[in-house]
Amino acid sequence: MTALADTGEAAGRRPAGTGRAAVRAHAVLRVEAAPDGSARVVESRSAVPLVLRHTDTAAPRLRDSTASRPMDAAAPRPMDAAAPRPLEPGTEPEAASQAEIPRPPGLPTVTVHLVGAAAGPLAGDQLRLDISVGAGVRLVLRSVAATLAMPGHGPGPSVTRIHAEVAAGGALDLLPEPTVAVRGCDHRMVGRAVVAAGGWLRWREEILLGRFGEPSGHVETDLRVDVRAPGGDRPLLRQRLPLGPDVPGLAGAAVVGSARAVGSLLVAAPAAPDGAGPAGLGLAAAVTPATGGALAGGAAVLPLAGPGILVTALAADAVTLRRHLGP
């Protein structure tokens, strides 16, 4: 991969309208196994506003005494259940179904946080992050705060692109904080991922339709995930979702209804031909049914022929949405 920024935190700018320059930023993050088997960051190139901070490196635990299975020391126990978490008793109905959610493999792990070093994105901004995870390691990528997609005077919408590649025997946890569609914004979230057979990917997207007490701007997600196998890449997921006041029927029962928070969680664990790699581990996870009462929305699980799982969720607020999708 080639980054547009050198050392640390510079972004290219091009005219975007009167009094403002649109931001063009391209950041790169690459994690591989060291000769001793530990996880290491071999390339980290930031570009404002996409600033990468390496916050932790950890080796896996050998065994969890209560569950008798390998554990990962880099993440708290709730991370092992990549699935909706139930609310407190009495706040929502009993789970309607069960689904097998692949859990993270126990691998040497690097944790990196994405820091937003400037406001936005604003109209016309073009941001891109390339991620590569090698064999035998796990990358946990989080962000330190929500992203506010805001209106501006630039030509066209703002766009945030994330391109990820996961090698066989590697794992990627992509768990950013929510994107808030501020009133008047026009924003695109584009995700592309290729997971090799024997790799593992968890990708969470959360969108809040406006700030508190304001109508939503326009936001559109476009996520495509492929499985890389000896016979060639094959599609695992193609998902596009437009949201905003200009989307016909958005507030209807067939779309989001009264929900103000929309999210999804993809877990892809394509099995390697020889059964090697982190794929194949499963965890029974409760799925919250959609309701028409006080709770706006719910969560549902769709098994994917990857194997993989897609959890989609609606909620009245960000806290409830996170409970549906996991921490």
pLDDT of residue 78: 32
* Burial of residue 253 (number of CB atoms within 10 Å: 0-12, 13-18, 19+): exposed
- One DSSP character per residue, 17-57 reads ETTEEEEEEEEEEEEEE-TTS-EEEEEEE-BTTEEEEEEEE
Residue 279 scores a pLDDT above 70: no
Please tell me the distance from the alpha carbon of residue 227 to that of residue 53, in angstroms, as a whole number.
Answer: 29
> Which residue reads 């794992």 in tokens?
171
- One DSSP character per residue, 127-154 reads EEEEEEE-TT-EEEEEESS-EEE---SS
- The residues that bridge with 43 in the sheet, in sequence order, are 30
pLDDT of residue 182: 95
Of 22-36, 73-87, 128-142, 239-253, which range is least confident? Answer: 73-87
- One DSSP character per residue, 168-180 reads TT-EEEEEPPPEE
Residue 240 scores a pLDDT above 60: yes
Mean pLDDT to the nearest integer, 245-274: 82
* Closest among 162, 102, 89, 177 to 128, alpha carbons compared: 162
- Which residues lie closer than 8 Å to 17 by C-beta, 6 or more apart? 123, 124, 152, 153, 154, 155
Please tell me the distance from the alpha carbon of residue 170 to that of residue 90, in angstroms, as a whole number.
Answer: 40
Assign 208 a pLDDT band (cuts: 50, 70, 90).
very high
Please tell me the distance from the alpha carbon of residue 106 to that of residue 276, in angstroms, as a whole number.
Answer: 13
Most confident among 60-64, 179-183, 250-254, 314-318 (mean pLDDT): 179-183
Most confident among 12-21, 53-62, 87-96, 232-241 (mean pLDDT): 232-241
Over residues 2-49, the pLDDT tens digits come to 333 333 333 444 444 445 678 899 999 999 999 999 999 999 999 999
Over residues 64-114, the pLDDT tens digits come to 433 334 434 333 333 333 333 333 333 333 333 344 455 666 899 999 999
- Percent above pLDDT 90 for the chain: 51
Assign 137 a pLDDT band (cuts: 50, 70, 90).
very high
So where are the chain's domains? 23-61+78-325
306 secondary structure, DSSP code? T
- Which residues lie closer than 8 Å to 78 by C-beta, 6 or more apart? 85, 326, 327
- Percent above pLDDT 70 for the chain: 72
Please tell me the distance from the alpha carbon of residue 321 to that of residue 78, in angstroms, as a whole number.
Answer: 15
**What 3 state SS string does 244-293 have?**
CCCCCCCCCCCCCCCCCEEEEEEEECCCCCCCCCCCCCCEEEEECCCECC
